[in-house]
């Protein structure tokens, strides 16, 4: 297209010269300068989509000799691959731009209405540049920051024609970005908690990477050996979200609300009430519901209220026979239960929520689970939203195994265990 444009310009100039000669006029005309080059230093900018923060690239335009004046802002169009999460990914990218070493200022990304455009387009506004006399180049520094859901944008490139106020191209080249999977934001990454035998509670945040699923531990605090049971009421995250309840030796239940602070994940505890020693198992589920099994094997549901001062409503009987299970843990929005002989059963959340019938009929999902001495349901561990919940399991020799999730026909179960490290038998409780 650029070559065709130059041919047309040359042909037009020749025609003007011929016409002038035929009329007996002068045969001189102003020369049309060749556009300069626009070069992206280092080539396409790799953009980690995640919490890493902005990265920077530089465009250097070499201008035609003698050029000065204004290069107006340019709106550049990129076409992305199909299947990008959301209809308009542009506004979810953040950029700033600086011209010739000046101050950085926001430069916008946008996406057209998907109903009016065929394909997924991204529009980027390159700012205006004011070129003084004698300058031979102009530089654009561009920062780019993108959320982890935009890794699927992949490689984007577009031809850039910098034009002056008359519309003449003064420099041409290419701008390219390669969006790559980075570390998911802290609010997307789940966390696992472990209590050691001195009563110290530790937090392991997910890395967002499948091969090394957990970061080094962080100390939450001491004194947690005052409790005989701990369970989460929601998926805790590396950002400090997610609530927890703890039962002390006198049967009093305490509520710890998530603080949403990474360094101190829980607010000071609040007393819920006494009498909770009547239960042999406590399991919380996303949404704040708490399930409790009594000594007769009856499972009770305490509906979550969302109120810190009174987190649960009146209990509702779910059913009997739950003392057949050695352990009951949360997995996703349902339960995983294990019998003493190592069989695992999956209780999916019912489609039509009934306080007394919260789960679908149980489904057998495998054996051999008696090799584990502790189990804990966690939030998302892998880098993709499709990774879903995870299940942490500790073997008798202290190895940790982290299970992802597999989905089929609307059903889910733990799948594809990955090593999570050694030395976990220093803990007496995982949650």
pLDDT tens digits for range 257-307: 999 998 899 999 999 999 999 999 999 998 899 999 999 999 999 999 989
User: What percentage of the chain has pLDDT greater than the value 90?
Assistant: 71
> Minimal CA–CA distance to 90: which of 69, 63, 117?
117
pLDDT tier for residue 15 given thresholds of 50, 70 and 90: very low
- Residue 77 has a pLDDT of 94
Three-class DSSP category at 348? coil
For the segment 22-38, the average pLDDT, to the nearest whole number, is 61
- Residue 6 has a pLDDT of 34
User: In this predicted model, what pLDDT tens digit does every residue of 352-384 receive, in sequence order?
Assistant: 767 789 999 999 999 999 999 999 988 777 665
Structure-block tokens of residue 236: 């805790």
- Residue 415 has a pLDDT of 86
| Residues paired with residue 419 on neighbouring β-strands, in sequence order | 401
User: In this predicted model, what pLDDT tens digit does every residue of 343-360 receive, in sequence order?
Assistant: 999 999 998 767 789 999
Give the separation between CA 37 and CA 95, rounded to whole angstroms.
23
Please determine, for residue 1, whether its predicted confidence score (pLDDT) is greater than 60.
no
User: In this predicted model, what pLDDT tens digit does every residue of 55-70 receive, in sequence order?
Assistant: 999 999 999 999 999 9
Distances (CA, A) of 372 to 282, 329, 330: 19, 13, 16
For the chain, the average pLDDT equals: 88
User: In this predicted model, what pLDDT tens digit does every residue of 308-354 receive, in sequence order?
Assistant: 889 999 999 999 999 999 999 999 889 999 999 999 999 999 987 67
- Report the predicted TM-score, pTM, of the whole model to 2 decimal places: 0.81
What is the number of other CB atoms lying within 10 angstroms of the CB of residue 132?
9
Give the separation between CA 5 and CA 161, rounded to whole angstroms.
12
pLDDT tier for residue 25 given thresholds of 50, 70 and 90: very low
- Residue 112 has a pLDDT of 83
> Minimal CA–CA distance to 95: which of 84, 107, 85, 103?
107
| Residues paired with residue 192 on neighbouring β-strands, in sequence order | 204
- Residue 31 has a pLDDT of 60
- Residue 83 has a pLDDT of 56
pLDDT tier for residue 13 given thresholds of 50, 70 and 90: very low
Distances (CA, A) of 4 to 1, 8, 164, 239, 356: 5, 6, 20, 55, 74
Structure-block tokens of residue 111: 């996406």
For the segment 113-129, the average pLDDT, to the nearest whole number, is 82
> Minimal CA–CA distance to 305: which of 272, 335, 282?
272
User: In this predicted model, what pLDDT tens digit does every residue of 122-173 receive, in sequence order?
Assistant: 999 999 999 999 999 999 999 999 998 899 899 999 999 999 999 999 999 9
Give the separation between CA 332 and CA 199, rounded to whole angstroms.
28
pLDDT tier for residue 3 given thresholds of 50, 70 and 90: very low
């Amino acid at each position: 297209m650029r070559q065709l444009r130059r041919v047309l310009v040359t042909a037009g100039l020749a025609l003007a010269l011929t016409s002038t000669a035929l009329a007996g006029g002068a045969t001189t005309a102003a020369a049309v300068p060749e556009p300069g080059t626009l070069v992206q230093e280092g080539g396409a900018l790799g953009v980690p989509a995640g919490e890493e923060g902005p990265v920077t690239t530089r465009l250097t335009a070499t201008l035609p000799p003698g050029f000065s004046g204004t290069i107006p802002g340019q709106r550049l169009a990129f076409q992305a691959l199909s299947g990008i999460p959301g209809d308009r990914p542009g506004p979810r990218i953040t950029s700033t731009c600086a011209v010739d070493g000046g101050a950085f200022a926001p430069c916008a990304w946008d996406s057209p209405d998907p109903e009016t455009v065929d394909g997924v387009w991204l529009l980027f506004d390159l700012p205006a540049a004011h070129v003084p006399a004698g300058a031979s180049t102009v530089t654009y520094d561009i920062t780019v920051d993108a959320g982890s859901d935009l890794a699927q944008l992949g490689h984007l490139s577009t031809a850039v024609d910098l034009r002056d106020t008359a519309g003449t191209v003064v420099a041409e080249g290419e701008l390219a970005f390669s969006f790559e999977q980075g570390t998911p934001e802290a609010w997307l990454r789940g966390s696992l908690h472990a209590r050691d035998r001195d009563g110290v509670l530790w937090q392991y945040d997910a890395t967002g990477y499948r091969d090394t699923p957990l970061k080094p531990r962080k100390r939450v605090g001491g004194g947690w050996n005052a409790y005989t049971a701990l369970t989460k009421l929601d998926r805790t995250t590396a950002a400090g979200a997610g609530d927890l309840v703890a039962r002390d030796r006198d049967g009093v239940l305490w509520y710890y609300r998530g603080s949403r602070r990474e360094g101190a994940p829980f607010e000071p505890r609040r007393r819920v009430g006494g009498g909770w020693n009547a239960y042999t198992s406590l399991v919380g589920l996303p949404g704040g519901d708490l399930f409790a099994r009594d000594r007769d094997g009856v499972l009770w549901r305490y509906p979550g209220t969302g109120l810190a001062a009174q987190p649960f409503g009146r209990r509702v009987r779910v059913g009997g026979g739950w003392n057949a299970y050695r352990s009951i843990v949360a997995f996703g929005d349902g339960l995983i239960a294990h019998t003493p002989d190592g069989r695992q059963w999956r209780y999916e959340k019912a489609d039509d929520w009934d306080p007394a019938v919260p789960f679908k009929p149980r489904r057998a999902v495998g054996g051999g689970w008696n090799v584990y001495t502790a189990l804990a349901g966690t939030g998302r561990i892998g880098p993709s939203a499709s990774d879903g919940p995870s299940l942490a399991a500790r073997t008798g020799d202290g190895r940790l195994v982290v299970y992802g999730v597999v989905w089929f026909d609307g059903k889910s179960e733990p799948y594809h265990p990955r090593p999570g490290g050694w030395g976990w038998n220093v803990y007496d409780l995982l949650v």
